[in-house]
Structure 1
Amino acid sequence: MRANLIEIFRSVQGEGFYVGVKQLFIRFSGCNLNCYYCDTPKTSEKCHDRIRGRQILNPVSATYVQNLIDTSRVHSVCLTGGEPMLHAEFISNLNRTKPFYLESNMTLPEKARKLRFVDYVAGDLKVRESRVEGYDEVLEKTVECFKILKNTRNRKTFCKIVLPDDFDEEEIINSALEIKNYVFGFVLQPVFGSGVEKILKLQDKMMEFADTRVIPQVHKYLGVR
C-alpha cells in the first residue's frame, strides 16, 4: 500500500485543544476543497522526510511510514494534509503503535467510516466565507462526518472553525448547534493575521452551549513547522 505525501516531520501541535503536544506529522497530498486561506501545497513529486533529512519519490510505502511511527517518541501521530481522509485505505493499513490524531475537513463521510479507530479527531467546520464550492452540501456532509467520528470514551473529537475577518455569526452558531452533541468543544481559530474582536463576541455566545476557546495558529508564532 502506498500514498502520496508532502512531508514527514516531528514538531509540536500548533492548533486546537492539544497545542504543544509532540507529534509525528504525516502530511498527505491532495484535497477535495479549495479554501482561499489554505497555506499547504496540494501535490509534490517527492516527499520531504525531515526526520531523516532526505527526499523520497512518491508514492511512499506504508512500510516506510510505519517504521517512522514505531521509532518516534511522541504523544501521537498527526494525520494531516491536504485531506488525509482521501487516503483512508492507506491509513487503515497502518498499525496504531502510537495514538492516531486525525486532522480533517470532515466532508467525506464514506471515508470517515473507515477511520473510526482513530484516537483523536480535529474536525473542521467550514464557514461560508471560506469560499468552498457547494457550501450547503459541504455543511451537510460535515455534520454527517461528525456523527460518524463523534466524541466517545475511546475517541476525543473537537471542532475547529477557521474564521476570516468577515463572517456570519448567526449562521456559524446554527451550524455549531447541529454538531455540539458530537464534540467535547469548539476552537475558534482566526485566519493568521486577522483580528479577534468579533471572534471574542462569537465565543461569548457559543459558550452558552459548549466549551469554546479562541486559539490562534501557535506554531506560526513560534516559528516552527
Structure 2
Amino acid sequence: MQLVESFLSIQGEGKYNGKLAIFMRFAGCNFNCLGFNVKISKNDKTLIGCDTIRAVFTKDFKESYETLNANELLKRVIKLKQDFDPIVVITGGEPLIHYENPEFIEFIQMLLKNKFEIHFESNGSIE
C-alpha cells in the first residue's frame, strides 16, 4: 500500500470533531476536484486539485510515498497510538479505491482484530 502520510491529531470534522485520531492517508483518487482550486508547483507544472493534492496526483508525488504491507501499517498505527485510545481514520485521496487490494483488506481486518474504531473518509463514489 502506498501511504502518503500518517499522524496523530484531532478529528476536525463531523460528529467526531474533537476526538483524538490517527490519520492514515493512502495514495490514489478517482476524482480530481479542480473546483477546490488548491495549487502547487511540481516538476515545472502547476497542479490544481483538492486539499489532499499529494494523494491525488500519484505520478507527481509517488517518490514521497511509503510502500508498506498490512503488518507495517498496523505497526505504524500502534506506534502512533501511544497510550491513547484514538479512532483510526482511513483517508486519501479516495481510500476505498483499494477495497479489493488484499493488503488493504488485511490491514482493516487487523485493525478490527485489535479493537480499533475505524472511520473512512470517502467521496462516496465507490460502489
TM-score by length of 1: 0.41
What are the equivalent positions in structure 2 for 1:30-69 lying under 5 Å apart? 30-36=28-34, 37=36, 38-40=50-52, 41=54, 42=56, 43=58, 44=61, 45-47=63-65, 58-69=66-77
Structure 2: any 5+ residue segments left out of the alignment? 37-49
Q: Which residue in the other structure is 2:126 paired with?
A: 108
Structure 1: any 5+ residue segments left out of the alignment? 48-57, 110-225
Q: Which residue in the other structure is 1:19 paired with?
A: 17
Q: What SS does structure 1 have at the residue aligned with 2:12?
A: coil
Q: Which residue in the other structure is 2:87 paired with?
A: 76
Identity percentage of aligned residues: 35
What are the equivalent positions in structure 2 for 1:1-225 lying under 5 Å apart? 3-36=1-34, 37=36, 38-40=50-52, 41=54, 42=56, 43=58, 44=61, 45-47=63-65, 58-71=66-79, 72=81, 73-88=84-99, 89=101, 90-94=103-107, 95=110, 96=112, 97=114, 98-109=116-127
Runs of 4+ in 1 over 4 A off after TM superposition: none
Distance, in Å, in 1 between the alignment partners of 2:76 and 2:16 is 21
Output the amino acid matched with 1:39. Answer: D
Distance, in Å, in 2 between the alignment partners of 1:76 and 1:11 is 10
Compute the displacement of 1:60 (Å).
Answer: 1.7
Q: Is the 8 A contact 1:25 1:78 kept in 2?
A: yes
Q: What SS does structure 2 have at the residue aligned with 1:93?
A: helix
TM-score by length of 2: 0.69
Q: Pairwise CA RMSD of aligned residues?
A: 1.5
Residue-by-residue CA offset, 1:114-173 (whole Å, 9 max, x unaligned): xxxxxxxxxxxxxxxxxxxxxxxxxxxxxxxxxxxxxxxxxxxxxxxxxxxxxxxxxxxx
Q: What SS does structure 2 have at the residue aligned with 1:63?
A: helix
Distance, in Å, in 2 between the alignment partners of 1:77 and 1:9 is 10
Output the amino acid matched with 1:22. Answer: L
Distance, in Å, in 2 between the alignment partners of 1:74 and 1:102 is 17
Look at both structures and tell me which one has the larger radius of gyration over its CA atoms.
1
Distance, in Å, in 2 between the alignment partners of 1:46 and 1:29 is 10
Q: What SS does structure 1 have at the residue aligned with 2:74?
A: helix
Residue-by-residue CA offset, 1:18-58 (whole Å, 9 max, x unaligned): 111111110011100111211111233223xxxxxxxxxx3
Distance, in Å, in 2 between the alignment partners of 1:79 and 1:102 is 5
